[in-house]
Amino acid sequence: MKIVVLIKQVPATDKVKMDEETGTMIRDGIESEVNPLDLYAIEEAVRIKERMGNGVEISVISMGPKKAEEAIRSAIALGCDKGYLLTDRKFAGSDTWVTAYTLALAIKKIIGVFDIILCGERATDGETGQVGPEVGAYLDLPVLTYVSKIEKIGDDQIVTHRAVEGGHEVLEAPLPVLMTVVKEINTPRMPNFSGKMKAKKAEILLLTADDLGADEERLGLKGSPTRVVKIFRPQVARKGKIVSATTDPESAVDGLVDFLAGKAII
Ligand SMILES: Cc1cc2nc3c(=O)[nH]c(=O)nc-3n(C[C@H](O)[C@H](O)[C@H](O)COP(=O)(O)OP(=O)(O)OC[C@H]3O[C@@H](n4cnc5c(N)ncnc54)[C@H](O)[C@@H]3O)c2cc1C
């Protein structure tokens, strides 16, 4: 069985700044890490391998700058087998649709025949949650989103739970399949010493646009149909009311009740 895990390297901070001129993220000088939500996809792939044995091969693919090699090594330290980084200036400025095109092309080219593609629910920087399903669309695969449990993997079909408000749906799909997973699916492990050693020695294959045989018109900013028209900080329109309970809690409670009643909230 062949499993592909798609991971993104993201800034290790929730204070991402945007370049208001270009509409892109400012990544210089910011520490990076594996997208935290991709750790659940990595963990699930490793668990499948542990359950099904050594016939399972896990490949990790990321598109990003050379630095994203660190993220791929982290995934190998956690139990993945092979790592591929798609890196080329021609990929710069890609929107989600072009990111998905490039990733799908790489999967076809490098992996060929596969059974499962695992993605995180969303990236903590871009936060669109679009790339996984878009890769599925490019590869014409059934897409299972918000997967919270894999119940069974058969020879040619998979049964999963999909998290929905207040419960879950049971979904069945033929293989090959693309899944995006949510936090509830597992608890990611920490890397052990032998994993770290394996990651250090692993050869990460770097692939350019030429290696993928990509249509240059469909790459990077040029190929991206999305345009960031304007970036701004939203103004908080409502003014809050501060009620201090330090000196006179009773009148503070009365004040709060009056305020909420005045807004018809209670
Ligand atoms: C017009 C425009 C210009 C942009 N320019 C730039 C730019 O110059 N530089 C820049 O860094 N970003 C740029 N972006 C942001 C870029 O589109 C997103 O970072 C990228 O497409 C992923 O989208 P996301 O972060 O919303 O991921 P999501 O869709 O939220 O990610 C979901 C899952 O998809 C997988 N995934 C996502 N991205 C990757 C990846 N790169 N490799 C492997 N797996 C992945 C992961 O499993 C992840 O959990 C631009 C966006 C737009 C709209």
Q: Looking at ligand 1, which residue's alpha carbon is closest to its atom 9?
A: 93
The pLDDT value recorded for residue 179 is: 98
Q: Is the pLDDT of residue 233 over 80?
A: no
pTM (two decimals): 0.86
Q: Which atom of ligand 1 is nearest to the CA of 121?
A: 49
Burial 59-77 (b: 16+ CB within 10 A, else e): bbbbbbeeebbbbbbbbbb
Cα dihedral across residues 186, 150, 173, 113: positive or negative: positive
Alpha-carbon distance of 188 to 120, in angstroms, equals: 12
- Which residues partner with 2 through β-bridges? 57
Domain extent listing, the chain: 2-223, 239-266
Contact (Cβ atoms closer than 8 angstroms) between residue 148 and residue 163: yes
The CATH class that applies to domain 2-223 reads alpha beta
The pLDDT value recorded for residue 104 is: 98
- Per-residue pLDDT of 75-124, as tens digits, reads 999 999 999 999 999 999 999 999 999 999 999 999 999 999 999 999 99
How far does the chain reach from its first CA to its final CA, in angstroms? 57
CA 247 to centroid of ligand 1, rounded, Å: 50
H helical segments located in the chain: 38-52, 69-77, 96-106, 131-138, 193-201, 209-212, 220-223, 249-262
Q: Which of 81, 95, 77 is nearest to 195 (CA)?
A: 77
3-state secondary structure of 110: helix
CA 98 to centroid of ligand 1, rounded, Å: 9
The pLDDT value recorded for residue 79 is: 97
- Which residues partner with 172 through β-bridges? 159
Across 27-31, 99-103, 129-133, 143-147, least confident range: 27-31
3-state secondary structure of 106: helix
To test ligand 1's pocket by mutation, which of 3, 4, 8, 69 has the most ligand atoms within 8 angstroms of CB?
8
Q: Which of 198, 146, 181 is nearest to 167 (CA)?
A: 146
Instruction: Find the mean pLDDT for residues 231-255.
Output: 80
- Which residues partner with 129 through β-bridges? none
- Percent of the chain, pLDDT > 70? 98
Q: Is the pLDDT of residue 15 over 70?
A: no
Instruction: Find the mean pLDDT for residues 188-196.
Output: 97
Q: What is the DSSP letter of 164?
A: E
Using a 6 Å CB cutoff, which residues line ligand 1?
Answer: 6-8, 24-25, 35, 37-38, 41, 62-64, 92-96, 99, 103, 119-120, 122-123, 125-132, 224, 226-228
* Structural element, H or E, at residue 207: strand 204-207
